[in-house]
Amino acid sequence: MEGRIKEKKGIFYDVKNLLREPALLAIILITFICFGIFIIYPLGKITLIPKMKDWTRIFTNERMMRSFWNTLASSALSTTTATILGFIYAYSLNYTNMPGKKFFRVVALLPTMAPSVVTGLAFIMLFGRRGIITYKLFNLSVDLYGWVGLWIVQSIAFFPLAYITISGVLKSISPNLELAAQNLGARGFTLFRTVTLKLATPGIASAYLLVAINSFADFGNPMLIGGNYTVLATEAYTQVTGNWDLEVAAALSLLLVIPTMLVFFIQKYYLDKKSYVTVTGKPVSGLNRDIVSKKVEKILFAICLIMSIIILMIIGVVVCFAFTKAFGANNQFTLDNFKEGVLRSKPMRNSWIFSMIAAFITTIIGIVLGFLVVRKKFPGKNILDFLAMLPVSLPGTFIGLSLILAFNNKTLALTGTAAIVIIGMTIRQIPVGYRNSIAGFKQIDKSIEEASTNLGGNSFITFIKVVLPMMKNALSVSFVYTFMKCMNTLSTVIFLISPKWMLASVSILSLADHAFYGVASATAIGMMGIIFITFGVVKLIFRDKINIFDL
């Protein structure tokens, strides 16, 4: 009873404080209203629109059910493979003294600078029926299309995501624990199995979930290289563009969410049952993790080298096709592909402008959400936190289709406009800006803001004059990373674009599908160039004080 009274007093006190700060109250209300319109309403719409007849049609349709099982099978294969490769790569770079680690780190991040469909495009150019390696060098006609090709392409396209996630966890493991295990006689595989692998489990599970979400939602690679091996994302797209059957497409997208949510809850249930706390005292400064034998180190080096060669081959063949008339058949140097795919490309301009706008909006939303959730007390704070992180667990195709269903009406007609594309990009990346801002706030002593309040500043003035200047590095990281993800997004916007508002990532898929490999490659190189330039400009402005990826 006493606890309930305290809780009521707490809520009453929080509301009373909010009424004293109209600006803060207005921001909270506007935030909830925006989330209600652009997240809750679309998700509710896509959930409720399929009727029993639509579900019956899906479960009795052989092609659609085959797409469902294909999605589960291909995603399980590619997610497992990508996570294993990511772990091996991260472990090699953090637990060995192999040469060239800086080089390996840079190479592993290159695929993140381009849409994942570029990997599929490169594999077609290298290993397809008329591929540079299979046909030109060995006179083989290899059928790359199907589940095997999709498995290989997705594994390579998404392994950098696993590497980045797992590497961050491995770096945070206290060397003291491994040193203690060594002092107790643990060596080699025993040390790896009983200490390192167990402590890396949260990172492995997070990486698996992240790759699974991207794999389930992957649209470009299944469309480009899947052939007759259909998956839910491509089947939903066919239902929209071919039949304009939004109800069945919505049901298929809901089926896409089920395995994602299942993986998420399994991960959460498994990790919540165990403890992975590693901060047990002051770490040993400069401790060298000498736990890998020279023989194992050579094997790990070979694996990293092979992965790096494959990635460089992917980037290399894209560059070769971009700068030649028809690489392999006519190797004459040309810039015509760049003129058409970059300089004269409206999709490229749209991608750049939309990504800039979405990155700016996402960064502002992220910092505001972080400030509210970390620094303020108000009713519904946990709900706001949940809504801010919800998009990270939803496939991009699901988000895009939900926006189409929600805003394809007379009341708020946004379909076919630039606004709905930007909204889709923003919603998909809100968790990125939000997590970065939370990390930034945890590094700032709360007493600094309290000092501003004691001097008469309200929450709004404190936020503008105190918080924002101290959060500029977190803001810049959020902006650049979000810009990169928005430039490369495909699954989220595939339902949102129109002929007037085409994007470069979609243009690459269309060009590759029609065998215009030169222009498609030039477009991909142009996108990577824009991302590198943006990153360089931000680094220059902040004088190397930011680091998107820890190289």
Amino acid type, 411: T
Q: What is the pLDDT of residue 141?
A: 79
Name the pLDDT band for 402 (thresholds 50, 70, 90). Answer: very high
Q: What is the pLDDT of residue 280?
A: 44
The CA distance from 394 to 336, in Å, is: 39
Name the pLDDT band for 285 (thresholds 50, 70, 90). Answer: very low
Statement: residue 361 has pLDDT above 50? yes
**Burial zone of 92 (CB within 10 Å; 0-12 exposed, 13-18 middle, 19+ buried):** buried
At 83-117, the pLDDT tens digits run 999 999 999 998 888 999 999 999 998 988 888 88
Dmax over CA atoms of the chain, in Å, equals 83
At 19-31, the pLDDT tens digits run 677 778 888 899 9
Name the pLDDT band for 462 (thresholds 50, 70, 90). Answer: confident
Of residues 264 and 417, which shows the higher confidence score?
417
- What pTM was computed for the model? 0.86
The CA distance from 125 to 524, in Å, is: 14
**Helix/strand/coil (H/E/C) assignment for every residue in 360-394:** HHHHHHHHHHHHHHHHCCCCCHHHHHHHHHHHHHC
Of residues 198 and 548, which shows the higher confidence score?
198
Least confident of 165-174, 294-303, 349-358, 419-428: 165-174
Mean pLDDT score, 385-399: 90
Domain layout of the chain by residue ranges: 16-45+64-279+299-324+339-542
Amino acid type, 171: K
Q: What is the pLDDT of residue 420?
A: 96
Statement: residue 378 has pLDDT above 70? yes
CATH architecture of the domain 16-45+64-279+299-324+339-542 equals: Orthogonal Bundle (1.10)
Of residues 255 and 547, which shows the higher confidence score?
255
Q: What is the pLDDT of residue 2?
A: 45
Measure CA of the first residue to CA of the last residue in the chain; give whole Å: 54
Q: What is the pLDDT of residue 15?
A: 67
Q: What is the pLDDT of residue 160?
A: 93
Least confident of 63-72, 170-179, 194-203, 263-272: 263-272
The CA distance from 319 to 471, in Å, is: 38
- Measured at the CA of 399, the angle between CA 480 and CA 25, to 5 degrees, comes to 70
Arithmetic mean of pLDDT over the chain = 85
Residue 462 to residues 49, 360, 364, 489, 506: CA-CA distances in angstroms? 44, 21, 16, 35, 42
Least confident of 10-14, 54-58, 112-116: 10-14
The tokens 């709905």 sit on which residue?
Answer: 420
Backbone angles phi, psi at 78, to 5 degrees: -70, -35
Statement: residue 445 has pLDDT above 70? no
Do 482 and 110 meet the contact criterion of CB atoms below 8 Å apart? no
> Which pair of tokens denotes residue 29?
């209300």
Do 181 and 194 meet the contact criterion of CB atoms below 8 Å apart? yes
Name the pLDDT band for 283 (thresholds 50, 70, 90). Answer: very low
Percentage of residues in the chain having pLDDT higher than 70: 85
Name the pLDDT band for 198 (thresholds 50, 70, 90). Answer: confident
Backbone angles phi, psi at 449, to 5 degrees: -70, -35
Name the pLDDT band for 177 (thresholds 50, 70, 90). Answer: low
> Which pair of tokens denotes residue 541?
């402005």
Statement: residue 278 has pLDDT above 60? no
> Which pair of tokens denotes residue 244?
């304009």
3-state class (DSSP) for residue 61: coil
Name the pLDDT band for 455 (thresholds 50, 70, 90). Answer: low
Statement: residue 379 has pLDDT above 80? yes
Of residues 476 and 80, which shows the higher confidence score?
80
Statement: residue 414 has pLDDT above 60? yes
Of residues 205 and 472, which shows the higher confidence score?
205
Do 303 and 96 meet the contact criterion of CB atoms below 8 Å apart? no
Least confident of 165-179, 192-206, 537-551: 537-551
Return the C-alpha torsion angle 461, 462, 466, 468, nearest 10: -80
Q: What is the pLDDT of residue 29?
A: 92
At 223-257, the pLDDT tens digits run 999 888 999 999 999 999 888 889 999 999 999 88
Sign, CA torsion 15/17/20/22: negative
